[in-house]
Chain A
């Protein structure tokens, strides 16, 4: 083979052909004139250490996927209901418990028998208002109307960043709360696992993080199954329970509670009712998910999303009120200690029987749904992070897709923060809830206010009615946001109120940094980049005469005739010997010897560069100083400790110096 071409003889004597080698082929594909597309092989590292890391990453996270491999599957209503509603529906597993706990903590346990169901009905009505309001979002924003995009379009930067901050907090809390609650359901069925509940929670979050880094998609049937299994078993439980209470009269409400209805009204007081309402309002979390995911629906996207949202609201409302009805009538009490049965587990125990297969299956389905709900945030949080990064409010790496097309930075950040929350709050759903509902209602309020502005601006047919619906939704959720924040302030809501402005400030700071840099780097459209107009000079720090130095000097000679080598030494005699050799062996390149009686190397060299700058004629534009560093390329990892240490320090010292460029000239050892 000569020059990448190999001559081949054909069947007939005159039929010769030449096979032309194509060196680009393993790594690139030409897709147009001057345009190459990298193949997978081009992304594989070349150094042994990086290759090993790449292999390990391949085993853990899977092989890299090309951008074109991204699935664009559209969801049917049945599938979308399961996938987008898991977060909302799963909150029915702990919302009732939070209502009952509010009464118990207020010392009004008996009042729970009277007021828990009306409180749950009030929350279900609020859910109806919110669902109707978000139905409008589905129609107005077919490209997905998260509270961030709605407020960005209608309310301006600060409001949208408040919404984004609240969403970011919510997504973290969704993972922490859902995982903690799922573990609590598992512990309810298997109390022996109580001591390792936190470890289970953190492990599950770690697994979810890895699965999502591998490019786990929500669209698969596997994600629809747990939701429907839970719905089927929960409705079965409610049906059987209601039958036993209403038809068979198996209610376990104590006599004294029934007799004390009138008294309790006076005793309980509005504050306890509001506390119960605020606690139970957590049932509404996740309601906005469908409005955010409108583009994932099959056409007509908006109508299908709106229908699915309403079905989800009805299902969640019936579940929530139904479970509360059963919990009250079966005398369920919130667990006091880790390992105690959750309220929903107590209800399942009564309906299906303790230690029955039905009970264990129900607990398994509930836990599965809660894990699935946690996983929804692993899709939503990185997507929001990417949108914020594209808008310049988040570090840019949040918008980069990893090997498996997942927004890796966002997934890792969510995994770390959510796992930390589980550890800090010891996997207690109850302890996490006060932080949760605040952000959700702030989001609802901002989104609905944005929608009011949207209809007012658009004034499209029927806008008055639509504006009214969103206005009612905005006012209702706004009031609830104030109530929840006030009531839960000491329990942890203050943390969210502190965190939101901090996050907004950080995002504004990031945006200002990016804007400043962009302004500085901006090139006018009318500017034509001509050749360089500044002079260049080359400075080569040397440690003697060797092949690496000669190579660096030859490289320096190609860049400027203004070239000099600098030798810093503490021994003048060594300098004299080197000068003799240098003048003989490297003619035309002056050698500057800097004596350093204090044995420093870097500082005298920097001082020399400063002196060179000062000596430059003040009426001329400052030149670019190119510091050429001869470097050895280590053959083994351990050689890195032996070579280039001074060069590394010098590079670090010069980095950022005005008008200075550092050029490494690597010398590869052959033996």
Chain B
């Protein structure tokens, strides 16, 4: 990442979780990017061990498709092209990092809901720490405001 006032990137992977933070991070990345930036929206559907990994799950769900279509629509409003990628995996964090690695992304953006474990301490979950530890590129973590998620 060049050390300038405005952060620049040429290929960004945006990890979408189907929650309220999706629109926020897509708008952020689109607003800071230029038209020649490649945007890749990734949504991972976690498949538990009782089902085969290639079970026909994500492709049949309209809600899952809508997560990526909404992101693509926001990018198109700003005349930016976005490639939506739908994945099924056992581990969401690993799938996102692998996709970013394979596509040689120089930025990975991930949203983080503000949640508390049993009403106590803030819970960061498993995915974001995994991404922070393993992603080969820069990572932006956009945490939601406290008021948006019930504790």
Contact = CB atoms under 8 A, between A and B. Distances in A.
Nearest to A32: B66
Given A21-B59, A24-B65, A30-B66, A8 B98 contact: yes
A4 B59 contact: yes
A533 interface: no
Contacts of A3: 54, 56
Interface residues of A, number: 26
B59 A17 contact: no
15 contacts: A2-B54, A10-B95, A11-B97, A11-B101, A17-B89, A18-B54, A20-B87, A21-B59, A22-B59, A24-B65, A25-B68, A25-B84, A29-B72, A30-B66, A31-B73
Interface string B54-67: 10101100110110
Interface string A1-43: 0111101101110111111111011000111111000000000
B38 interface: no
Contacts of B63: 33
A29 B76 CA distance: 12
Contacts of B128: none
B69 interface: yes
Interface string A37-80: 00000000000000000000000000000000000000000000
A19 B86 contact: yes
Contact of A10 (B69, B88, B98): B98
Nearest to B77: A68
Contacts of A22: 59, 65, 68, 84, 86
Contacts of B87: 17-20
B59 A15 contact: no
Interface in B35-67: 44-45, 53-54, 56, 58-59, 62-63, 65-66
B62 A20 contact: no
Interface in B85-99: 85-91, 94-95, 97-99
Given A5-B54, A22-B59, A30 B94 contact: no
Interface string B95-133: 101110110000000000000000000000000000000
Contact of A16 (B44, B53, B99, B102): B53
A8 B100 CA distance: 13
Lowest 8 A-B CB distances belong to which pairs? A10-B98, A29-B69, A17-B89, A30-B66, A17-B95, A15-B94, A18-B88, A20-B86
Given A17-B87, A17-B88, A20-B88, A5 B59 contact: yes
Interface residues of B, number: 31
Contact of B94 (A7, A12, A21, A25): A12
B67 to A, nearest CB: 9
A16 B65 contact: no
A30 B43 CA distance: 15
Nearest to A23: B59
Given A17-B44, A22-B59, A31 B69 contact: yes
Contacts of B44: 17
A29 B73 contact: yes
Given A7-B53, A15-B91, A30-B65, A20 B59 contact: yes
A63 to B, nearest CB: 13
Interface string A555-571: 00000000000000000
B58 A20 contact: yes
Contact of B53 (A4, A11, A12, A18): A18
A7 B88 CA distance: 9
A33 B73 contact: no
Interface of B: 44-45, 53-54, 56, 58-59, 62-63, 65-66, 68-70, 72-73, 84-91, 94-95, 97-99, 101-102
A22 B67 CA distance: 12
Given A7-B53, A29-B69, A31-B66, A16 B89 contact: yes
Contacts of B58: 20
A15 B101 CA distance: 13
B90 A16 contact: yes
Contact of A33 (B45, B62, B69, B94): B62
A120 B136 CA distance: 82
A11 B97 CA distance: 9
Contacts of A7: 53-54
B144 to A, nearest CB: 23
A289 B85 CA distance: 52
Nearest to A66: B76
A214 B85 CA distance: 35
Contacts of A14: 90
A32 B91 CA distance: 27
Contacts of A17: 44, 53, 87-89, 94-95, 98-99
Nearest to B69: A29
A15 B53 CA distance: 11
Nearest to B96: A17
A20 B43 CA distance: 10
Contact of A18 (B62, B72, B73, B89): B89
Contacts of A8: 98, 102
A18 B54 CA distance: 6
A604 B98 CA distance: 70
Contacts of A20: 45, 58-59, 86-88
A25 B59 CA distance: 11
Contacts of B66: 30-32
B151 to A, nearest CB: 29
Given A7-B53, A20-B58, A33-B63, A15 B88 contact: no
A20 B64 CA distance: 11
Nearest to B66: A30
A290 B59 CA distance: 54
Nearest to A3: B56
A232 B13 CA distance: 57
Interface in A196-254: none
A29 B65 CA distance: 8
B47 to A, nearest CB: 8
Contacts of A21: 59
A34 B62 contact: yes
Given A5-B88, A8-B102, A17-B95, 20 more contacts: A5-B54, A5-B56, A10-B94, A11-B97, A11-B98, A15-B89, A15-B91, A15-B95, A17-B89, A17-B94, A20-B45, A20-B58, A21-B59, A22-B65, A25-B69, A30-B65, A31-B70, A31-B73, A32-B66, A34-B62
Contacts of A24: 65
Contacts of B88: 5, 17-18, 20
- With a 10 A CB-CB cut-off, give which of A8, A10, A17, A22 has the most chain B CB atoms: A17
A499 B5 CA distance: 69
Contacts of B53: 7, 16-18
Contacts of B99: 17
A15 B63 CA distance: 25
Nearest to A29: B69
B28 to A, nearest CB: 21
